[in-house]
Chain A
Amino acid sequence: MIKSLHKRESELAQSNRQLEILSNGIFQNGELPTFKDKISETGQFPLKAKKLEILQINVGYMCNQVCSHCHVDAGPDRKEIMTRETMTQCLDVIKNTGAHTLDLTGGAPEMNPNFRWFVEEASKAGIKDFIVRSNLTIITANKKYNDLPEFFKKHNVHVVSSMPHWTQGKTDKQRGDGVFSASIEALKMLNAVGYGMPDSTLRLDLVYNPSGAFLPGNQKSLEKDFKKALLGEFNIEFHNLFAITNLPISRFLDYLIASENYEDYMYSLVEAYNPAAVASVMCTNTLSISWDGYLFDCDFNQMLELPVNSKVKHISDYNEDLLEGRTIVISQHCYGCTAGAGSSCQGSVA
């Protein structure tokens, strides 16, 4: 298993180094327009936060996997974990938020020792859509996690899981050896309790990230191919597929640079720029909370340590009215969310 950039003490573990790379070179010499210049062309700068719809909480960067494209740089060696105290502060917000979606992510959120308590408490708030982003393999990683499908069902959690391909080769290459077969087993366990079945209200969606330096194809076409393959070969059912573009940060940026694909990839993102996607980018209706309670426009800005442009910086000072209308913090990584049909944690947006 590879180590995280942090553990390797790679310079790309530093967010300021990543931002430097994203601002220099082809963006500094004018070969490509900066994201700010690009959205200014269509009068969409500055991007402003609209009414909050999605509250996304990152409960820690620890994970049982070390995926080669991970924007969080998550892994077993990451020790950043949300404390019960910060979770309690989050619960106060969850109880009073106007957001219709609560989205727990990580790392592997289930590895946070207070995860189950937090889900039990948060589910009492009655938020319409309660998402847990589960990497699937955690369900089979250890006996203590084997009952997660039942636990999710009990709290009517909407499970969203990553699956880069319906073949072992492509999946294991991106997510690590053995991930494909463990994921298939976990999906069967989720199906067995009703998740993902055609008429079931227990939502099971999959997330597709390209396993290389290319953009995702059409979300509906990919969903059709995934369904055909997973049902045909493994008798697995799921509801929707979200096609998500890999953003050029953290481990994916490291891969792009090491494989000499960085410039071509940035060209692809800029060429595929779609102004229509800008209108629906997730940062305008989402708020991302980090493991230590700080607020960001999205999970990507969280990893780049670009805090919200607001007087309110921390969950302990949370004020939804003050956060609405804030100017979204942008850099060149934002091209990842506006390419083609657009990309968000819920898939295509345009």
Chain B
Amino acid sequence: MQKTYYDPADLKKFGKISEWNEELGAKFFEYYGKVFEEGALSEREKSLIALAVSHTVQCPYCIDAYTGDGLKRGITKEEMMEALHVAAAIRGGATLVHGVQMMNKVNKLDM
């Protein structure tokens, strides 16, 4: 059994998921490729969104991939960090906004 759950080398094997279900794998990668094409948002903007989301879902493969992708696109470390703070703010906000539910419950039950 391997001693760590994540191996950086596994990122390069991502495409292999199609081997066990070619049809769905192919559909996924086609969709994935299409999503990142230039559209109403630029490829650069999409790369920054992907980087922020990668941190939110805490995917080490994705963080590796989209940090590298950002560097290639000329995205600065300041832009990267700001994107992460957006992700962190939403994640922190999502926790805190549930505080309203907590407060509602306390206000209803407490004398």
Chain A positions near chain B (C-beta within 8 angstroms): 165-167, 169-170, 208, 210, 212, 214-218, 221-222, 225-226, 271
Cβ distance B63 to chain A, nearest Cβ, rounded Å: 15
Most chain A C-beta atoms within 10 Å of own C-beta, residue among B43, B72, B73:
B72
| CB–CB B74/A225 < 8 A | yes
Please name all residues of chain A whose beta carbon is closer than 8 Å to the beta carbon of B68 when the two chains form the complex.
214
| CB–CB B71/A221 < 8 A | no
| CB–CB B76/A210 < 8 A | no
| CB–CB B74/A165 < 8 A | yes
The residue that A167 contacts in the complex, of B43, B69, B72, B76, with Cβ under 8 A, is B76
| CB–CB B43/A221 < 8 A | yes
Question: Number of B interface residues, CB 8 Å?
Answer: 11
Q: For the complex, is B55 an interface residue (Cβ under 8 Å from A)?
A: no
- A221 CA to B68 CA in the complex, in Å? 16
| 23 contacting pairs across A/B (C-beta < 8 A) | A165-B74, A165-B76, A166-B74, A170-B74, A208-B74, A210-B71, A210-B72, A212-B71, A214-B72, A215-B72, A216-B72, A217-B69, A217-B72, A217-B73, A218-B43, A221-B42, A221-B43, A221-B44, A221-B73, A222-B73, A225-B73, A225-B74, A226-B74
Cβ distance A265 to chain B, nearest Cβ, rounded Å: 12
Q: Assuming A165-B76, A215-B72, A222-B73, what are 14 further A-B pairs, CB within 8 angstroms?
A: A165-B74, A169-B76, A170-B76, A214-B68, A214-B71, A217-B72, A217-B73, A217-B74, A221-B43, A221-B73, A225-B73, A225-B74, A226-B74, A271-B12
Please name all residues of chain B whose beta carbon is closer than 8 Å to the beta carbon of A221 when the two chains form the complex.
42-44, 73
Interface string of B9-41 (1 = CB under 8 A from A): 000100000000000000000000000000000
Chain B positions near chain A (C-beta within 8 angstroms): 12, 42-44, 68-69, 71-74, 76
Please name all residues of chain B whose beta carbon is closer than 8 Å to the beta carbon of A165 when the two chains form the complex.
74, 76
- A166 CA to B44 CA in the complex, in Å? 15
Which A residue sits closest to B79, measured CB to CB?
A167
- A226 CA to B68 CA in the complex, in Å? 19
Please name all residues of chain A whose beta carbon is closer than 8 Å to the beta carbon of B44 when the two chains form the complex.
221, 225
- A335 CA to B42 CA in the complex, in Å? 30
Cβ distance A205 to chain B, nearest Cβ, rounded Å: 17
Cβ distance A336 to chain B, nearest Cβ, rounded Å: 15
Which B residue sits closest to A208, measured CB to CB?
B74
Which B residue sits closest to A222, measured CB to CB?
B74
Please name all residues of chain B whose beta carbon is closer than 8 Å to the beta carbon of A222 when the two chains form the complex.
73-74
Please name all residues of chain A whose beta carbon is closer than 8 Å to the beta carbon of B72 when the two chains form the complex.
210, 214-217
Please name all residues of chain B whose beta carbon is closer than 8 Å to the beta carbon of A166 when the two chains form the complex.
74
Please name all residues of chain B whose beta carbon is closer than 8 Å to the beta carbon of A217 when the two chains form the complex.
69, 72-74
- A179 CA to B76 CA in the complex, in Å? 18
Which B residue sits closest to A216, measured CB to CB?
B72
Cβ distance A213 to chain B, nearest Cβ, rounded Å: 9
Please name all residues of chain B whose beta carbon is closer than 8 Å to the beta carbon of A215 when the two chains form the complex.
72
**5 closest residue pairs by CB, A with B:** A217-B72, A217-B73, A214-B71, A214-B72, A225-B74
- A222 CA to B39 CA in the complex, in Å? 16
Most chain B C-beta atoms within 10 Å of own C-beta, residue among A170, A214, A217, A271:
A217
Cβ distance B65 to chain A, nearest Cβ, rounded Å: 12
Which B residue sits closest to A213, measured CB to CB?
B71
